[in-house]
A and B are shown apart, each in its own frame.
Chain A
Amino acid sequence: MRNLWTLTRRELGAFFLSPLAYVIIFLFLFFQGYAFKTWLHAGQQMGGVEGIDVGQVLGGFLGGGFVWWFLMLLPPVLTFRSLAAEKSSGRIEMLFTAPVTDIEVVLAKFLGALIFYSILWLSTGVYVLYVINAGAEPDWGVVTTGYLGIILFGAMLIAINLFFSSVTSNVVVALILSLFFNIGVVFAPALIDFLTSNAAVKNIAEYIQVVDHLEKDFSNGIVDTRHIIYYGSSILLGLFLTLRTVEIRKWR
């Protein structure tokens, strides 16, 4: 456990010491501010003289169209170098000769990226504080479930993107694989659902339709155990596959 914590801190430290992290932070916060401004403006248009509906603004901010771009792009950027760069530079050999287990290495990579991702998202809580300061009373249930959905979905993508980073030593390939996968996860279920009339396939497509999970449930204050199980099991599967891929190196 101590090893895991040490490695996680090392990973997190590496993030914060990298200039790339600050570029990500700058762009993320800038575009999040822009997204919030857009929802605020939409709320103003809808509410007219009566005022802005804070539920509409925060619901859109945590589950509306902009969110998907951040959700699809952020995890690959945080994971593409994790194992691929270590492999290409040879640092991975040093890491695996250290007195730590493979699972600790993989978990530390995952947790490091997830903590950084969560810090980024939770920093947007400043906009929730902003509307409170402006006199609004947000529904904390909706705010909590909104962030819960975003973090769960991000954790799933980070785990699977980490796997893509582990299968190659080329960071560009890892990045492209992750991006394609994430775009597929977001858009493919809706496409399949639209194209098929087969009930079983339709049910599966509906089950994995992450856009609906976030837009209809999490950002509306609903926690559905099916979504938790889907994200939780996908995180475990992603980590398991990453671990196996890392272990294969030893068998060669």
Chain B
Amino acid sequence: MTDPTHNDASSTPASTSESTDWGAKQKWMIGVNVLIMLLLAIGIYAGVNYAGALKYARKDWTRERLHSLSPETISVLQNLDQEVEVFNYYRPMKNLQVPPRIQILVMQKVNSLLAEYKQHTDLLVIKEIDADKDPTEARFLQSELEVDRANLTVFRFGKGEDARRQVVKLEDVADIRGGQNQASLRREEAQLVAFRGEEQFTSAIRSVLEEKPTKTYFTVGHGEMGSDDFSQRQGLSICSKALRQNNYTVSPLNLLKEGAVPGDCDVLVVAAPSMDYAEGEIAAIKDYIESGGNLFLMLRELAESNVMQVVEDLGITAAPVDVMALDSVNFHSFEGQFVLRVSDGLSRNHLITQAMAERGLHVIMPLVRPLFLAPTEGVSIEKILQTYGPQSWGERIVDGNPNMQWDQGEKRGPLTLGLAVQKKTSAGGHSRILVFGDADFAGNRAIGAASNRDLVTNSFDWLTDKGLYFDIAPKVPTARLFQLSPESGRAFLWVWWGMPIFFGVILGSLVWWTRRS
């Protein structure tokens, strides 16, 4: 008989052992369970983030949609069918006229913009060049891309010898006001007033995708402004650079020597000749126009030449070389020279000036010779640039000093300063001609002022029938400025000290007192 109150000595160790076995097994199972759950959770976490990184969206909540791409850019990106490489090489430098603070700001904007571009296509391959991390690679790429400085973005299409590339520098994407290079009496803090990254990048992509470059020839030998002349007065080198960056080629043309305009010429540029052309040269230009060529003719004050003969048949004539368009309101002194500011006179009906006019932009032109027009059959002529109303008139300039008074007999405005001509050719095609009463607006001295550069590039794009991408407006954040009055300053002190004292000290003491009681 077994005493129920007596523990079975033999059974106790067995039961303990069983319990221990079960406990260890249970702990092991729990451990495995926890591990599996942990791995599963981390796996899901990584998977969700990986999927999120592959397919994502960015929403721009700013009022002016500062970070959104234009439909033009999205269309260019979505129509890409081959890879375009983008080498982004930004590094704050000391030797640039732009302060490092602005360089960093522009770099951030460029990076952010490229990230937006990347969202719309996988065919844009962006490579960051980091000279600090990998100087060897940076040097190699610099030599391969043929760039000798930082703070630029290079777009490249194709490989090897046939690769087409386009360089977009910091100065091209950033409109900077003030700083060390500002010709100003007081030193201004440099400020980024507009970011043109999208306009430049889209143009660069479009440009490298073009199969053949557009050829421009600049006539020489008659005192014209030089396409590769770096001087302020006679130089068009900045204009040429802008053209080359847009996949144009720029070459000089000596008509007397060549006898005819080359067959591959897409635009013939005649920039401010001050000597007469030979009859044969005039005839060669006329033949070129008749065969469907495009002419960009720019005149200059006090530069006597018979070049207007090439457009005489179209009914276009220019005022004498010493007669300039003046305007009692929009005539200013700019860097020691009188310039005309043309804003209201930009045509809203022509592709070259339409977007500029709609945005209220302006161009500035040093002394401009007015143009006159007689209606001619078979020719479509548009006045794209005019002075504004009766406040302007044609004035004869004596000794370089304009008389700012309208006198009896002087022609009242509006005066025509720029004409765009489309002419049917006998072969059934058409030629395009642009005539401006001034050439200095495209010169080295003034091309960077106001919207002159856009007028120049739009002009070439219209002449060659390229799509005009000026619709991509620069990103100009509306500066929401406010002034801090002395009252506002005092109010700030109340807010700054009042908030912590009220919420921290008074409310805290109240709670402490309530709880204590």
Contacts and interface: CB of A to CB of B under 8 A. Distances in A.
Contacts of A40: 484, 492
A226 B483 contact: no
Interface in B55-85: 56-63, 66-67
A174 interface: no
Given A127-B495, A222-B58, A47 B481 contact: yes
A25 B508 contact: yes
A221 interface: yes
Contacts, number: 173
A36 B348 CA distance: 46
B482 A33 contact: no
Interface residues of B, number: 54
Given A25-B503, A34-B496, A17 B515 contact: yes
B404 interface: no
A46 B189 contact: yes
A106 to B, nearest CB: 14
Interface string A40-53: 10001011101111
A17 B510 CA distance: 10
B483 A233 contact: no
Interface of B is mostly: helix
B131 interface: no
A19 B482 contact: no
Interface in A225-247: 225-226, 229-230, 233-234, 236-237, 240-241, 244
Interface of A is mostly: helix
A123 B496 CA distance: 12
B488 A133 contact: yes
A230 B49 contact: yes
A37 B41 contact: no
Interface stretch (B30-38, B220-228, B329-337): B30-38
A137 B63 CA distance: 11
Interface in B466-502: 477, 479-485, 488, 491-492, 495-497, 499-501
B63 A139 contact: yes
Interface in A195-231: 197, 203, 207, 216-217, 220-226, 229-230
B60 A221 contact: yes
B485 A134 contact: yes
A159 to B, nearest CB: 12
A237 B45 contact: yes
B133 interface: yes
B511 interface: yes
B84 to A, nearest CB: 19
Nearest to B62: A221
Given A139-B63, A141-B62, A225-B58, A52 B511 contact: no
Contacts of A236: 45
A141 B499 contact: no
A44 B488 CA distance: 13
B507 interface: yes
Interface string A1-42: 000000000000000110101110111111001101100100
A115 to B, nearest CB: 16
A136 B482 contact: yes
Contact of A207 (B49, B133, B503): B49
Contact of B480 (A26, A54, A123, A220): A54
Contacts of A186: none
B501 to A, nearest CB: 8
B185 interface: no
B48 interface: yes
B62 A139 contact: yes
Contact of A145 (B27, B37, B61): B61
B450 to A, nearest CB: 20
A144 B61 contact: yes
A53 B63 contact: no
A207 B505 CA distance: 41
Contact of A229 (B52, B61, B134): B52
B41 A240 contact: yes
Given A123-B499, A142-B61, A135 B34 contact: no
A29 B507 CA distance: 14
Given A25-B504, A141-B62, A230 B52 contact: yes
A221 B58 CA distance: 10
Given A40-B492, A216-B108, A55 B479 contact: yes
A52 B496 contact: no
B504 A23 contact: yes
Contacts of A27: 500, 504
A224 B56 contact: yes
B62 A51 contact: no
Nearest to B66: A221
Interface string B353-372: 00000000000000000000
Given A29-B499, A33-B497, A216-B108, A222 B61 contact: yes
Contacts of B511: 16-17, 19, 22
A130 B41 contact: no
Contacts of B34: 244, 248
Contacts of A103: none
Contacts of B112: 216, 220
Contacts of A130: 488, 491-492, 495
B9 interface: no
Contacts of A64: none
B379 to A, nearest CB: 49
A145, A207, A221: residue with the most chain B Cβ atoms closer than 10 Å: A221
A98 interface: no
B447 to A, nearest CB: 27
Interface in B95-111: 108, 111
A226 B56 contact: yes
Contacts of B504: 22-23, 25-27, 29-30
A64 to B, nearest CB: 13
B14 interface: no
B517 to A, nearest CB: 14
A69 interface: no
B496 A223 contact: no
Given A17-B515, A22-B508, A240-B41, A221 B495 contact: no
A54 B103 CA distance: 22
Given A33-B495, A54-B480, A220-B62, A233 B485 contact: no
11 contacts: A21-B508, A51-B482, A52-B483, A130-B495, A139-B62, A141-B63, A207-B49, A221-B66, A222-B59, A224-B59, A248-B30
In order of increasing CB-CB distance, the 3 nearest A-B pairs are A26-B504, A22-B508, A141-B61
Given A134-B484, A144-B61, 13 more contacts: A21-B508, A23-B508, A26-B504, A54-B482, A130-B488, A136-B482, A141-B61, A207-B49, A223-B59, A226-B56, A233-B49, A244-B34, A248-B30
